[in-house]
Structures are given as C-alpha cells and as structure tokens.
Amino acid sequence: MADVILSLSQVNKTYVTRKNGRNRNVWAVRNVSFDLKRQHIVALVGESGSGKSTIAKLITGVERSDAKSGSILFEQKPLAEWRRHMREYRRHVQMVFQDPYAALNPLNPVNYAVGRPLTNYKKLRGQAREQEIEQILQQVHLTPVREFANKLPFELSGGQLQRVVIARALASSPKLIVADEPVSMLDVSIRAEVIGLIDELRTQAGVSFLYITHDLISARLLADEIVVLYRGTVVESGDAKTVVREALHPYTQLLLQAIPNPWAPEQDENFDMSLLERTGDDTGCVFRSRCPHAMEACAKTAPTLQPHGEKQQVACLLYSAESREPVNS
C-alpha cells in the first residue's frame, strides 16, 4: 500500500540480562504489527515497561530486532536494506525524546542545534542556512526568531526547549518523527501547545508521527490510530476515537477507567487499582492474571490480534469463538 509509510509485521525483541550468574531472556516486544500511514499520527500507548521505547529504538535503527523476527518496512523497503544507507534513513526518520534538557548540548545556542543537521544533511551554508533556520524556528513558533536563535538552552523554558528539539528534528525534512513521550516532562499547562504543534506539523510539513505516550487522552486528541501495548504485545489497535469510545480489550477498558474524571468521582473510587499491577505469568494471554474476565481458555491460548468491525483489532478470547467459562468468578 503506497500510503503506508511504516509497517511493522510480527516484530520481536528479546534482551538477554544476567541475574545471579545466569542469563535471562527479557521479552520486550512480542509479535508487534501495525501500520502508519503517510501524514497520519499513530499513538503507541502503554504503561511503563510495556515496550514503547524499545519499539521506537527498533524503528529508528538504534536497536536490532531478533534474528528471524518479522519485518520493519519504511517506504516499502526493509530496515535491513536501509541499514546500508543509514545516513539517508536518519534523514527521513528522526526522533524526539522525552527529556529536552538532556537532548540538547547546554553549550550550544539554538541556531547551532538547528543548523547542524542543515549542514550535515542538506549541505547548507551561510545565508541559505540562516534563512532555513529562521523558517524552521518560525514553524515551531519560537518567535521572535532572531532573539531565540542565539539563546542557550538554560535561557529557555521546558516547552521552548522541546520546540528546539522538534525544530532540530525537522531540519533534515524528515518523513517520519518518532516522538517518545514528548510532553510527559513538560508542565501540564504547556503540554497542549506542544501537542498542537505536532498536529500542525503533520498537516503543514506533511510529517508522519509515531506518538508514544502513557496517556490515552492525549492519544485520542492527537492520533488517527491508537495501538495499545501490554507487556510487549499489541492487545488492541484501530481508529483512535473508536478505541477510546468503544474499547474492547479489558486492559484498554481498565486504562480508561483509571483516568481521573472530575465529573465522575464515584467511578474512580470504585476502580480497583490492583488490577493495574503487574504479575509475572507468561503463559496464555499476557493480560490473563490481571483480567477481570479471565477464562480457562486464556491460560492455554495466547490470542492474536483479530479484526473487530471495520475500525478495530483486538487480541482477546472474549471476542473469538473460544470457551467463555470464567476462571475467577
């Protein structure tokens, strides 16, 4: 499909860690599949440790997926082929990190941070480089541009710094930006502005975004599609509004119930937070031990992502023809 810019199919990543003198496999990403269409925003949502950053690292080429694992296609070309042209790949696929303070060199002014990729990737110098820096700073609303261009990171607020990081990512004219929790370290009052900027850049600069977040509400606001991850596995995905309005997977439903709702305090009081705690059971469905609807079959079968209606996919035996006898009732 020509309008799909990024496609992950059955991607796996296992880390080998050492504990008590023994090697232990940590399965960070399991059989993950999803597509990102051109100029679309896909939100990757999940709690801490669900594999979001690992997926970002696999897509940006920082980490390699397991041997004999599925494929990552960018512009219909496997990442394995792009690895021979990594410089070109990095130009097309940029990353924005969570912490703008750590992402920028404190000794370099804004125009250096934004200008470097212009020199590296576009060979721009002198006046042409200056003009492009100005245009990019305008695009991220760091105005008056001349004032901001010479500022050092310590002279900027968190929100302004994240705009500089986004400007630096934009400088190579990327087709895709992977933004790993880009607003979670920012003050709540400026999160909406940065989210608004991402939306604007998608429309005006034609960039596609993978927006990584803990937060289903910002995902619903910004994204076209949502992919819900639980312990490295996609449990639900589909049209953002549909996934939030008609969540199918018990985990997505729990995430939605856990969102503080000032208009429905009694709902929050009744919500059992222990359902969101992790346990270490790895057989059958990954969510089985926390699932309020667990059935016997869930211990035996790991459900795969299946279409449900026209706009959603879900990996849950509740929506398949398997046994429906509850285990924990």
Ligand X SMILES: Nc1ncnc2c1ncn2[C@@H]1O[C@H](COP(=O)(O)OP(=O)(O)OP(=O)(O)O)[C@@H](O)[C@H]1O
Q: Does 60 bind Mg ion (CB under 5 A)?
A: no
Q: Residues 63-72, buried b or exposed e (16+ Cβ, 10 A)? A: bebbeebbeb
Q: From the list Mg ion, ligand X, none, pick the one residue 28 interacts with, judged by a Cβ distance below 5 to 8 Å according to partner type.
A: ligand X
Distances (CA, A) of 177 to 24, 89, 310: 33, 12, 27
Q: Does 50 bind ligand X (CB under 6 A)?
A: yes
**Spatial separation of the C-alpha atoms in residues 30 and 14, rounded to whole Å:** 8
Q: Which stretch binds ligand X (CB under 6 A): 44-52, 102-110, 126-134, 274-282?
A: 44-52
Q: Which stretch binds Mg ion (CB under 5 A): 44-52, 78-86, 158-166, 282-290?
A: 44-52
Q: By CB under 6 A, name the one of 10, 26, 85, 281 that touches ligand X.
A: 26
Q: Does 213 bind Mg ion (CB under 5 A)?
A: no
Q: By CB under 5 A, name the one of 50, 53, 218, 237 that touches Mg ion.
A: 53
Q: How far is the CB of 91 from ligand X (least distance, A)?
A: 25
Q: From the list Mg ion, ligand X, none, pick the one residue 54 interacts with, judged by a Cβ distance below 5 to 8 Å according to partner type.
A: ligand X
Q: By CB under 6 A, name the one of 2, 3, 17, 280 that touches ligand X.
A: 17
Residues 6+ apart with CB under 8 A from 63: 13, 54, 57
Q: How far is the CB of 98 from Mg ion (least distance, A)?
A: 7
Q: By CB under 6 A, name the one of 6, 12, 31, 46 that touches ligand X.
A: 46
Q: By CB under 6 A, name the one of 52, 249, 290, 308 that touches ligand X.
A: 52
Greatest C-alpha distance within the chain: 71
Which one, of 199, 56, 268, lies nearest residue 191 by Cα?
199
Q: How far is the CB of 53 from Mg ion (least distance, A)?
A: 3
Q: From the list Mg ion, ligand X, none, pick the one residue 26 interacts with, judged by a Cβ distance below 5 to 8 Å according to partner type.
A: ligand X
**Spatial separation of the C-alpha atoms in residues 3 and 175, rounded to whole Å:** 12
Distances (CA, A) of 181 to 48, 99, 111: 11, 9, 24
**Spatial separation of the C-alpha atoms in residues 160 and 194, rounded to whole Å:** 9
Task: Provide DSSP, 202-260.
Answer: HHHT--EEEEEES-HHHHHHH-SEEEEEETTEEEEEEEHHHHHHT--SHHHHHHHHTS-
Q: List residues binding ligand X (CB under 6 A).
A: 15, 17, 26, 28, 46, 48-54
Q: List residues binding Mg ion (CB under 5 A).
A: 52-53
